[in-house]
């Protein structure tokens, strides 16, 4: 199975500018291809991961991926998916984002066999006259107005700055084609117009015979029709400082039976036979969640490394058994980041005061006494029945946390300040 056929089987292709031409090209040579990454956030998220996974598939097949960090275009603002003009970031924030994202991309693609470039390096050298004379003449306004990303903004308004974004992205493709022999751009479905502009520019500047192609990935929706990639806490970031590998693992492990096979196809590098076998297990023994576990393992290993998988599964096992006293402070921070929490002082605190602070755990000391006497309360993994007990935060987790469990499943966290 060729790589285009494999991507189609995985449901990873939305549109191509010339599928037959691209397929023929891939039969004759190893190519260079690129994805653009917007550095206006501190991290890329799993929505970005879909086209990046395609680049990784090409890399595994011997092709050469190039990542373009939008140091220039990010300062302008991509109108795609935005209802209003983008707020431009201060240069120092922008530069820090570029450094963080570069680190994340290196973790995905390794140190060899791929290249990261910044389009600021060439876009910043353009002056207004050369921009208008060399490129502006080649972009008919009537065509630009029909691009989806522009047309959707005409009623509410779009600045000339964001209107020109598609020209700048086209210049990216032309520059990479000319200087690095990049022949394919991969992007999200909302980027098809911009990608097509790049292909058209290359044909106008080089000639209609130039072999340049575009490929977009579909918008990934869950079986209930909602957009994949969001959690109750927001975006699923790839930066471990913004979302712990444990939470990342859990996000994929908690996917539904109806979605998990589709996600295995898109996000993992398992072959069709392995995925078909997991689909059979979902149908015959869904309670085992074998497909979800494999999905979580594969994607977490790709993004954070195999050690992160081991750590996530260790935390999961500890939480399942309730033996939270075996966690480290760092593991507590990762595992309990989303549970209800209170803030306490570092000194000793009576258990009744701890349980009733801010009415978070118990609504009254009477109810707290009842739950203690009934054995429903555990502190740091130890059952507490003494209503006069005193809790010392310094006893566990480097003195930073106290874990309270009421009943079998309800956890609360006290953070020491």
Pairing type for strands 32-37 and 382-383 reads unpaired
- 62 Cβ partners below 8 Å, 6+ apart? 30
User: How many other CB atoms sit within 10 Å of the CB of residue 327?
Assistant: 23
* Predicted pLDDT at 379: 92
User: How many other CB atoms sit within 10 Å of the CB of residue 168?
Assistant: 21
**What is the average pLDDT value for the chain, to the nearest integer?**
90
- Tell me, letter by letter, the H, E, C secondary structure of 71-101: CCHHHHCCCCCCCCCCCCCCHHHHHHHHHHH
For 1-54, write each residue's pLDDT tens digit: 899 999 999 999 999 999 999 999 999 999 999 999 988 888 999 988 999 999
- Please check the confidence at residue 102 and state whether its pLDDT lies above 60: yes
Domains and CATH numbers, the chain: 3-217 (3.40.50.620), 244-321 (1.10.240.10), 341-416 (3.10.290.10)
| Rounded (5°) CA angle 56-61-66 | 45
- Please check the confidence at residue 81 and state whether its pLDDT lies above 60: no
The answer to whether residues 195 and 167 touch, using CB atoms and an 8 Å cutoff, is no
The answer to whether residues 378 and 353 touch, using CB atoms and an 8 Å cutoff, is no
* Predicted pLDDT at 303: 96
Give the Å distances, CA to CA, from 92 to 40, 85, 100, 171: 12, 21, 13, 25
When mean pLDDT is compared across 144-158, 177-191, 332-346, the lowest value belongs to 144-158
Residue 62 Ramachandran class (φ > 0 left, ψ -120 to 50 alpha, else beta): left
The pLDDT confidence band at residue 402, using thresholds 50, 70 and 90, is: very high
* Predicted pLDDT at 209: 94
Q: What is the DSSP letter of 191?
A: G
What does the pLDDT average to over 377-399? 91
- Please check the confidence at residue 299 and state whether its pLDDT lies above 80: yes
The pTM (predicted TM-score) of the whole model is 0.86
The answer to whether residues 231 and 240 touch, using CB atoms and an 8 Å cutoff, is no
What does the pLDDT average to over 392-405? 91
* Predicted pLDDT at 354: 92
Structural element, H or E, at residue 230:
strand 230-231
Residue 228: half-sphere exposure toward Cβ, Cα within 13 Å: 22
* Predicted pLDDT at 78: 62
Closest CA to 338 of 398, 416, 250: 250
* Predicted pLDDT at 119: 92
- Please check the confidence at residue 226 and state whether its pLDDT lies above 80: no
When mean pLDDT is compared across 73-87, 249-263, 325-339, the lowest value belongs to 73-87
Residue 3 Ramachandran class (φ > 0 left, ψ -120 to 50 alpha, else beta): alpha
The pLDDT confidence band at residue 153, using thresholds 50, 70 and 90, is: confident
Phi/psi for 235 (5° steps) reads -65, 150
* Predicted pLDDT at 87: 65
What does the pLDDT average to over 323-352? 89
Q: Which residues pair with 117 in a beta bridge?
A: 68
Q: Is 191 annotated as a binding residue?
A: no
Cα(317)–Cα(80) distance, rounded to whole angstroms?
42
Q: Is 192 annotated as a binding residue?
A: no
Percent of the chain clearing pLDDT 90 (strictly above): 61
Q: Is 250 annotated as a binding residue?
A: no
* Predicted pLDDT at 82: 57
Query: Cα torsion at 330, 332, 337, 340 (round to 10°)?
Result: -150
The pLDDT confidence band at residue 230, using thresholds 50, 70 and 90, is: low
* Predicted pLDDT at 390: 92
* Predicted pLDDT at 376: 92
The answer to whether residues 332 and 404 touch, using CB atoms and an 8 Å cutoff, is no
* Predicted pLDDT at 160: 82
What does the pLDDT average to over 325-347? 89
Q: Which among 56-65, 128-137, 351-360 has the top mean pLDDT? A: 56-65
Q: Is 165 annotated as a binding residue?
A: yes
3-state class (DSSP) for residue 211: coil
The answer to whether residues 319 and 335 touch, using CB atoms and an 8 Å cutoff, is yes
């Amino acid at each position: 199975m060729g790589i285009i056929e494999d991507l189609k089987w995985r449901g990873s292709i939305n549109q191509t500018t010339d599928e037959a031409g691209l397929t023929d090209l891939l039969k004759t040579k190893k190519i260079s291809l690129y994805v653009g990454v917007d550095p206006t956030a501190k991290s890329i998220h799993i929505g970005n991961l879909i086209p990046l996974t395609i680049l990784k598939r090409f890399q595994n097949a011997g092709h050469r991926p190039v990542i373009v960090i939008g140091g220039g275009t990010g300062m302008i603002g991509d109108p795609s998916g935005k209802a209003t003009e983008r707020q431009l970031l201060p240069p120092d924030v922008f530069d820090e984002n570029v450094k963080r994202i570069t680190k994340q991309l290196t973790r995905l693609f390794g140190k060899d066999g791929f290249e990261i470039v910044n389009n600021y390096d060439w876009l910043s050298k353009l002056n207004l006259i050369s921009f208008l004379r060399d490129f502006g003449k080649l972009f008919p306004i009537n065509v630009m107005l029909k691009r989806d990303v522009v047309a959707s903004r005409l009623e509410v308004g779009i600045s000339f700055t964001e209107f020109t974004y598609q020209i700048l992205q086209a210049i990216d493709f032309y520059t990479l084609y000319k200087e690095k022999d990049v022949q394919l751009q991969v992007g999200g479905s909302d980027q098809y117009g911009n990608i097509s502009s790049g292909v058209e520019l290359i044909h106008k500047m080089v000639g209609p015979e130039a072999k340049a192609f575009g490929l977009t990935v579909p918008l990934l929706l869950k079986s209930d029709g909602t957009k994949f990639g969001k959690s109750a806490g927001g975006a699923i970031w790839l930066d471990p400082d913004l979302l712990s590998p444990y939470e990342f693992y859990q996000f994929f492990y908690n996917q539904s039976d109806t979605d998990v096979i589709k996600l295995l196809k898109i996000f993992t590098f398992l072959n069709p036979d392995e995925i078909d076998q997991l689909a059979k297990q979902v149908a015959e023994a869904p309670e085992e969640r074998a497909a979800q576990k494999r999905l979580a393992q594969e994607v977490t290993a790709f993004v954070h490394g195999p050690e992160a998988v081991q750590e996530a599964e260790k935390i999961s096992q500890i939480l399942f058994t309730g033996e939270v006293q075996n966690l480290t402070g760092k593991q507590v921070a990762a595992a309990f980041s989303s549970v209800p929490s209170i803030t306490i002082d570092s000194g000793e605190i009576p258990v009744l005061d701890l349980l009733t602070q801010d009415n978070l755990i118990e609504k009254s000391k009477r109810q707290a006494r009842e739950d203690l006497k009934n054995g429903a309360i555990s502190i740091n993994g130890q059952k507490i029945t003494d209503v006069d007990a005193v809790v010392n935060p310094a006893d566990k987790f480097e003195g930073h946390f106290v874990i309270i469990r009421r009943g079998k499943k309800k956890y609360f966290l006290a953070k020491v300040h």
